[in-house]
A and B are shown apart, each in its own frame.
Chain A
Amino acid sequence: MAVAAVHSGGIADHIHPEPQGFIRKYVFSIDHKIIGIQYMITAGIFMLLAGALAEMIRAQLMRANGGFMTPDTFNTVFTMHGSTMVWLVIIPLLTGGFGNLVMPVQIGARDVAFPWLNMIAFWIFPVSGLMLYSSFLMGAPAAGWTEYPPMSLQGAPGTSMWCAAIFLVGVGSTMTGMNFLVTILKMRAPGMTFTRMPLFVWGQFVTAPLLMIATTALGAALAALFVQREFGVPFFDPTKGGSPLLWQHMFWFYSHPAVYIMILPAFGMISEIFPTFGRKPIFGYKMIAFSSCAIAILGFMVWAHHMFTSGMAPQLQLPFMVLTMLIAIPTGVKIFSWMATLWGGVLTFSTAMLYSVGFLALFTLGGITGVFLAAVPFDLHAHGTYFIVAHFHYVIAGGSLMGALAGLYFWFPKMTGRMLNETWGKWSFWLYFIGMNGTFLPMHWLGLWGMPRRIAVYDPQFQTWNQIESVFSLVMTAGIILTFVNVLVSMKRGKKSGHNPWDARTLEWQIPSPMPYYNFKHIPSVFATPYDFAEPLPYRGLEEELTDSPPPVPAAH
């Protein structure tokens, strides 16, 4: 059935010449693997910044009447923490970073569809990050990462810079989304049908349209806020006929799908990790792939659940409530399928596996509190409190970030050819896991008990729990720092990993580590899903990849 790597002379065989010189190789590279690593490094640096800001939040909240910084500084701090973590850490890491590094190889391609676009999209990202941080020079934005007007209309000049910077990151994301979509639709190796794609590719495939569509909608909202601030065009100003609620609609129409941008690739990662370390096929392949699509589609229809207290018409709230609750069903299908994948496996608890299991537990908790919030009457009490902060840190810090860390421990050998230190890795996991729960679990009851979010000072009865949180946040930070150190040390000193240290079955593990610039000497053909551990590998045409045979000749331009 499957044709053995036919020499088509088409795009699949089009090979860029090996990049020469430092600049073309590591700076303005058009090689998807290098670009992926560039994304990861940049996002890692921003993660340190945003994490430092988080620790500043926790320092301020050590005492009921604050005192670590002024309320105005505090407001810029949590605004920048939220904005950075969402737009400059998690989204670039999961899409641009891991997506670029792994996805094209997993589908058996030599690069993404538009390598130049890929490079441009990447370079927009650090530039806009610098722009965002340069807003500190002119008065940083201080109205929260959601920047609700009219508050954001009063904000310092840096708020306009915030608009411009986030707009630019968005342009980069949109490009990445288009690029990935075309890549996955058009550049799969022969025999790689949709039902044979690795689930990480499915994750990226479903995320790409979200990146494209939702991010463009955000771009419109940001442009409108920008011209309102700079030219007085009254989109959002109630005294001139505009509507503050319009912004909320426009913003959440992006930002709800954005939360799935932050989680679907992570779902994909752990769908790769569980089978690999359980020596067992993923349970319910089709349902996992299909439920991702359901989540993405439903994700566009629920944005107003962030606005239940804002004065939207009551009759409108009900459909949003019910649709939001429905998302629990496809997500539940995934959770249960992963649990069933664990059942009956031979589980090896490497660091990547630990992070994935942690993901499963913590994301479930965050997801369940999400369903609580979807119930309008409960949200009337919980909205705008620390309960919300607890919900989303469980799904983001417990879900997305843990997924990313699992992915890092899993694919690091593929990036560098060296192993991360597993002992340190396990320490980092336990520190992170314990610190994470200690930091964010008490926020649930603090919120219900009466503590609003985004406050620099609070009532004294909340102080003990806040101190506990702050201490645990240091534990969590220690875990992250340990991972950073581990990466820096192992890059140079790590044990050599060989091409497939985990004995994994997707295509990227069948070629040398680090991956050569041409990925495959011959494009393989595929004849089954990669998850049948009892069967031989479902690929043909890979015989020469690990041999010394000469690399393919670049196409003449």
Chain B
Amino acid sequence: MRLDRGFWTATAVLTVLALIVIFWWVYAPITAIMPEAVDKAAQIDALYRFLAASGSALFVYVVGYIVYFCVAFRRRSSHAADAIGVQIHDSHKLEFWWTLFPFLFVVGLAIISVRIFYGIEPINMPSNSLVVEGLGHQWYYTFRYPGINGEVKQLHLPLNQQVTLHVSSYDVIHSFWVPDMRLKVDMVPGLVNTLTFTPTRTGRYNIVCTEFCGTLHGDMRSGTPNDKAYLFIDTPAQYKSWYDSQQKANANASNEIAVASSSSINLTGGDVAAGKAMFQTKCSACHAVAPFEQKIVGPGLKGVLHDPSHPNLVDGEKATPEDVAKILQNGFSGPLGVMPNQTANGISDKDIANLVAYLNSLK
């Protein structure tokens, strides 16, 4: 049962190989191939280096020993026909260690991953960030900016400004992935998902859809001919001039996103209780039941329809149930940010009637 010289030689060789792959992954020029465009990319790359280094070292050992055993213990011509191997059944010591080591490794990996996870997930919404909305369509992206009417086709973001990106979809599930950001989030109809990050490197980056979305899923990425979206990270000055030009160009565009049925909604029979329940699941992520000034993502909605100091809604029209319904139906993008439309929010006409009744009941 003793381990012979060959075993220790093999171990030494494998250790050298393992150290080589570890060094390779620690110093691999990842950013030379794929730059890190936002702050969080570096954290994910660090995790990747750790995984790749430890994973390939582990792989080197496992496969190395397999190969070594296969060579060292192959049947030789000197073996009798009925030769048998070493008759051991187990070794509790060995089993203990090879359960403990993976366990410790997994615990360590879990701790590292959890810490990076908390650095990445938008668990606490930052308060002073630029809020942009990204929308998936079959098979392109659009974006909505506070203060720009309508939807724009390109995503421009200013350098070093924290960004909150809300994404949703009009039709099927898409996904928003910028490989150079190392971040991705699905665009699910009826659900608003969020990414937060701060761009740290100017340039033009690809946006890619990774969630299968139908015939032209493969075309839903930057670089395809029909003016597909890129992410541009601009200097603040460049961003400003782009923003102004878009604002001008879109001055007459409607903020109301065209939806299939723009027919006005029948508001009779709205149910306050149902509206309240709906509000808590669909709206309270962005709106507080509080005065207008108390903003989460959108303004506080307490008394929207009965607030003498806020006679007109954000779309400039008089606060009437009909106008609130219009905002809920079509969405709105104004100076405060972007409010998703009916489809993106996943609410029915009936829900809108209930919500309006509820909002109307808040005095």
Contacts and interface: CB of A to CB of B under 8 A. Distances in A.
Report if A and B touch in the complex (beta carbons < 8 A).
Answer: yes
Interface of A: 66, 71-72, 75, 142-144, 148, 150-151, 154, 238-241, 243-245, 278-281, 283-287, 309-311, 314, 317-318, 321-322, 325-326, 328-329, 332-333, 335-337, 339-340, 342-349, 357, 360-361, 364-365, 368-369, 371-372, 375-378, 380-381, 383-385, 448-450, 452-459, 531-534
Contact of A450 (B102, B191, B206): B206
Given A71-B218, A347-B70, A378-B48, A279 B116 contact: no
Nearest to B81: A503
Give the bracket for the number of chain B residues in contact with chain A.
Answer: 35 or more
B75 A346 contact: yes
A309 B183 CA distance: 9
Contact of B114 (A151, A318, A345, A459): A318
Nearest to A279: B84
A343 B86 CA distance: 8
25 contacts: A143-B214, A151-B213, A280-B84, A283-B88, A314-B117, A317-B117, A325-B109, A328-B102, A329-B99, A332-B99, A342-B69, A344-B73, A346-B75, A347-B73, A368-B58, A369-B55, A375-B47, A377-B44, A378-B47, A380-B184, A383-B210, A384-B184, A457-B219, A459-B206, A459-B223
Contacts of B59: 364-365, 368
Residue of A309, A317, A357, A385 contacting most chain B CB atoms (<10 Å): A309
A359 B204 CA distance: 43
A347 to B, nearest CB: 5
B110 A280 contact: no
Given A346-B75, A381-B44, A455-B217, A238 B191 contact: yes
A56 to B, nearest CB: 15
B190 A244 contact: yes
B264 interface: no
Given A371-B109, A375-B113, A377-B116, A238 B73 contact: no
Contacts of A346: 73, 75, 79, 83-85
Contact of A377 (B43, B74, B206, B209): B43
Given A311-B185, A346-B83, 10 more contacts: A150-B173, A240-B348, A241-B348, A317-B117, A342-B70, A342-B73, A345-B86, A346-B84, A375-B51, A452-B177
Contacts of A459: 206, 221, 223
Nearest to A365: B59
Given A284-B90, A311-B193, A321 B110 contact: yes
B313 interface: no
B37 interface: no
A533 B210 contact: no
B210 A364 contact: no
A330 to B, nearest CB: 9
Contacts of B86: 280, 343-345
Interface string B137-181: 000000000000000000000000000000000011101010100
B307 interface: no
Contacts of B173: 148, 150-151, 244, 310
B88 A281 contact: yes
At the interface, is chain A mostly helix, strand, loop or mixed?
helix
Closest CB pairs A-B (n = 10): A238-B190, A384-B210, A280-B85, A455-B218, A344-B86, A345-B85, A450-B179, A342-B69, A279-B84, A311-B193
Given A244-B189, A314-B123, A454-B217, A151 B117 contact: no
A311 B179 contact: no
Contact of A154 (B62, B211, B214): B214
A343 B172 CA distance: 53
Contact of A364 (B62, B89, B171): B62
A452 B106 contact: no
A381 B55 contact: no
Contact of B215 (A71, A243, A348, A383): A71
Given A281-B88, A325-B109, A245 B191 contact: yes
Nearest to B105: A328
A279 B88 CA distance: 11
B44 A380 contact: yes
Contacts of A333: 95, 98-99
Nearest to B63: A361
Contacts of B211: 148, 384
Contacts of A143: 212, 214
A364 B52 CA distance: 14
A309 B175 contact: yes
B283 interface: no
Contacts of A287: 90, 95
Contacts, number: 252
B89 A381 contact: no
Interface string B120-140: 111100000000000000000
A165 to B, nearest CB: 20
Given A244-B190, A384-B175, A449-B34, A281 B89 contact: yes
A310 B188 contact: yes
Interface string B85-108: 111111100110011001100100
B346 interface: yes
A168 B110 CA distance: 40
B354 interface: no
**Which of B58, B66, B85 has most chain A Cβ within 10 Å?**
B85
Nearest to A243: B190
Contacts of A454: 212, 217-218
Contact of A332 (B98, B109, B121, B223): B98
Contacts of B58: 368
B243 interface: no
B25 interface: no
A343 B69 contact: yes
Contacts of B114: 318, 321
Contacts of B219: 71, 457
B63 A329 contact: no
A143 B172 CA distance: 11
A336 B83 contact: no
B237 interface: no
A329 B102 contact: yes
Contacts of B191: 238, 244-245, 311
Given A325-B106, A450-B179, A453-B210, A283 B75 contact: no
B154 to A, nearest CB: 18
A60 to B, nearest CB: 10
Nearest to B40: A377
B110 A322 contact: yes
Contacts of B179: 381, 449-450
Nearest to A376: B117
A309 B90 CA distance: 43
A309 B173 CA distance: 11
Looking at B43, B106, B189, B219, the one whose CB has the most chain A CB atoms below 10 A away is B106
A287 B89 CA distance: 11
A332 B102 contact: yes
A537 B104 CA distance: 41
Interface in B194-228: 206, 208-219, 221, 223
Contacts of A347: 69-70, 73-75
Most B CB within 10 A of own CB, among A278, A364, A455? A455
Nearest to A455: B218
Contacts of A321: 110, 113-114, 117
B182 interface: yes
Contacts of B73: 278, 342-347
B209 A452 contact: yes
A279 B55 contact: no
B65 interface: yes
Given A329-B99, A347-B70, A377-B47, A281 B214 contact: no
A73 B258 CA distance: 32
A383 B171 contact: no
Given A278-B73, A314-B123, A333-B99, A75 B215 contact: yes
Contacts of A377: 43-44, 47, 113, 116-117, 120
A151 B172 contact: yes
